Copies of this chain bind each other. A is one copy, B any other.
Amino acid sequence: MISTKGRYAIRVMLDLAENDTGSYIPLKDIAARQAISKKYLEIIVKDMVTGGLITGTSGKGGGYKLCRKPEDYPLGEIIELMEGTLSPVACLADKSNDCPRKAACQTLPLWVEYDNMVHDFFYGKKLSDLIRKP
Residues of A within 8 A of B (CB): 1-2, 7, 10-11, 14, 75, 85, 87-90, 93, 106-107, 110-111, 114, 117-118, 121-122, 125, 130-132
Contact = CB atoms under 8 A, between A and B. Distances in A.
Chain A binding site: helix, strand, loop or mixed by DSSP? helix
What are the 7 closest A-B residue pairs judged by CB atoms, nearest first?
Answer: A2-B88, A106-B130, A2-B89, A106-B132, A10-B107, A14-B106, A107-B130
A110 B1 contact: no
Contacts of A114: 121-122
A132 B109 CA distance: 12
Contacts of A14: 106-107
A86 to B, nearest CB: 10
Given A7-B89, A88-B2, A89-B7, A125 B107 contact: no
A14 B10 CA distance: 39
Contact of A130 (B7, B110, B122, B132): B110
